[in-house]
Amino acid sequence: MGKTIIQKIFEVHCKTTATVNDIIDVSIDVRVARDFGGANVVKHLEEKHLPIHDPKHTFFTFDCNPGGCDQKYAENQQICRVFARKHGIKIYDINSGIGTHLAFDEGLVFPGDTFVSTDSHANILGALGAFGQGMGDIDIAYAFAHGNIWFKVPPTIKIILRGTPAKTATPKDVVLKINKELGANGLLGYAAEIYGPYVDSLSLDGRVTIASMATEMGGIILLFPTNEKIMDYYRNTFGITIKPIHADSDAQYERSIEIDITGLLPQIARPGHPEDVVAVSSVGGILVDSGFIGSCTNGRMEDMRAAAAILRDKTIAPGRILKIVPATDMIWNNCLKEGLLKVFKDAGALVGSAGCAGCAAGQIGQTGKGEVTISTGNRNFTGKQGKGEIYLASPQTVAASLVAGYIITSDAIPKKPVPVKVEPLSTKTLPEQTKERKVPPLVIEGRVWVIQKDNIDTDMIYHNRHLAITNTSEMGPYTFGNLKGYEQFAKEAQKGDIVVVGKNFGCGSSRQQAVDCFKALGIGVIIAESFGAIYERNAINSGMPILTSEGITKKLHDKDLISVDFIKGLINDKTQKKNYNTKPFSETQKEIFLRGGLLGG
């Protein structure tokens, strides 16, 4: 039986076959901790007295807040620096850029390699035909110490793009179309491979743009087979010939999906949901206050050139602000050499140091209440970058819209912009409180909170403005603080309560805090119809009980008293006097739970 790309990569990096749904140990070629997660990785390693398995293939990247302009970020960066000096670990410090992009710009990763990071978009390495996975700090600490980590071999979906988009459409427009077709959880639990004449025509930068949004579809990774353009990239950049990686002709796929992109016009995602995608023309005319060009999705050199081509000899509309952040320092310097920085500055844009910018509460990209932003990022979750409304689009559409003052395509920029006045607004901080809990037994009883919502992302669970908190006991008060209708959850929840939610719970970021906040409140178990892939790992690895049960939100009633058996997979609703089944703990989950987490209690 033939193998998919991910099966081939896994089998090279493990001592067994990579059969779908098996849990295997996979060796990791490159492991990375970022500035916001790195301090917790260091804490785990030092508290458990763990070694570094291979310092030459272990790195820190300071890309979330390269300015260190937040005191806690600066402190966390310094914690990592001191640790790195002790162990001979290389740091890509605040002047370097986004860690996942450095992985291929610096020749750290090649097709067929494995890469893990505290970055939920580490799967952009799929653009090369390499395996990348975002993980929480417990996973990364384990990988730092042992050089391997467990994975469940995912089934693979084959995506075939048919046709050719319009000349005004870009790879960002194509991936937004894919996101619309598949939805926020269309790839949940799956790897994907992507094919078609349009795919073959893409440069590395275009492939990165598409691969980077697999996370927004719930996917583990979206893999591109190696083509001549990737072979040429490694020959021209590093002077080496790489071994290509492809799926076997008789590889087994869960299913194939064809998406027609014939004549596709520029697309845009409306605020709050990356999958809520429409043609730019359908929202054209909406006034914008600000724009952002950058992120791991559109911070490449091709993106910078495309933006400059539109901004040259133009200025952004009065009262607006445009922020541009190249992905890496190499790209930043190339912009300088090619005169693009002058174009940006002459147009009135703010150009930031290379890095992620606003995605993880970084130094550039936050929004105020009522602010309308058009961004090239991959996420526009409510509240993720402040109180504003964020549209997602291509660099061309963003640049054109900032010149016009309203959303517009690059081929329809007016001669005169529309004026607007921007008034800054303040934000409020949630009150703090501290709660503690003990690890529960294998059978628990508690009161149910039934939340009939799908795709509850990690920003709704635990907002990124609190990411600098490293003490678990301090995280509880912020639980669901950004989930509409449940802002008072942390105040009203009682120790031992049980949370029941819909599909794709915990999608989005790789943040461990979105799990630990429930532990701080003493929540007994989270039962969901399905979990985001990274969230599921984080919960299991930290010893937080989670279970999956199809349709459970329609069976249990809010505030029912139930008991849950983790081993038998049995839910006994004592209020309704009914029993329901849930998927029990796997042996791996049980083992990790009983020892108090992946790294031990």
Predicted confidence (pLDDT) at residue 158 exceeds the cutoff of 60? yes
SS3 225: coil
Stretch among 163-172, 379-388, 495-504 having the lowest mean pLDDT: 379-388
What is the pLDDT confidence band of residue 468, given thresholds at 50, 70 and 90?
A: confident
Predicted confidence (pLDDT) at residue 440 exceeds the cutoff of 80? no
CATH superfamily of 5-260: Aconitase, domain 3 (3.30.499.10)
Predicted confidence (pLDDT) at residue 433 exceeds the cutoff of 60? no
Provide the CB-side half-sphere exposure for 61 (13 A, CA): 29
The fraction of the chain above a pLDDT of 70, given in percent, is 96
Q: Compute CA 421 distance to the chain's CA centroid, rounded to the nearest angstrom.
A: 33
Q: What digits encode the pLDDT tens for the residues 85-102?
A: 999 999 999 999 999 999
**Overall average pLDDT of the 361-389 stretch:** 86
**pLDDT reported for residue 422:** 43
Q: Are 283 and 313 in contact (CB under 8 A)?
A: no
**Overall average pLDDT of the 321-349 stretch:** 97
Q: What digits encode the pLDDT tens for the residues 109-148?
A: 999 999 999 999 999 999 999 999 999 999 999 999 999 9
**Dist. CA 154–CA 277, nearest whole Å:** 27
Predicted confidence (pLDDT) at residue 511 exceeds the cutoff of 70? yes
Q: Are 182 and 215 in contact (CB under 8 A)?
A: no
The tokens describing 509, both together, are 């970021």
Q: What is the pTM of this model?
A: 0.84
**Dist. CA 297–CA 592, nearest whole Å:** 35
**Dist. CA 38–CA 58, nearest whole Å:** 12
Predicted confidence (pLDDT) at residue 502 exceeds the cutoff of 90? yes
More confident residue, 35 or 450: 450
What is the pLDDT confidence band of residue 107, given thresholds at 50, 70 and 90?
A: very high
Q: What digits encode the pLDDT tens for the residues 11-70?
A: 999 989 999 999 999 999 999 999 888 999 999 999 999 999 999 999 999 988 877 677
Provide the CB-side half-sphere exposure for 177 (13 A, CA): 24
Average pLDDT, the chain: 93
**pLDDT reported for residue 439:** 53
What is the pLDDT confidence band of residue 361, given thresholds at 50, 70 and 90?
A: low
The dihedrals phi and psi of 79, each to the nearest 5 degrees, come to -60, -45
SS3 328: strand
Q: Which of 496, 471, 491 is nearest to 481 (CA)?
A: 491
Non-local (6+) Cβ contacts of 588 within 8 A are 23, 150, 540
Q: What digits encode the pLDDT tens for the residues 300-323?
A: 999 999 999 999 999 999 999 999
The tokens describing 380, both together, are 């526009």
Which residue intervals of the chain bear CATH 3.30.499.10? 5-260, 267-404
Provide the β-strand partners of residue 149.
26
Q: Are 403 and 311 in contact (CB under 8 A)?
A: yes
Long-range (24+ apart) CB contacts under 8 A made by 71-75 are 72/468, 72/469, 73/35, 73/36, 73/468, 75/39
The fraction of the chain above a pLDDT of 90, given in percent, is 87
What is the pLDDT confidence band of residue 365, given thresholds at 50, 70 and 90?
A: confident
CATH number for 267-404 (one of 3.40.190.10, 3.50.50.60, 3.90.1200.10, 3.30.499.10): it is 3.30.499.10
Q: Does CATH place domain 443-594 in 3.20.19.10?
A: yes
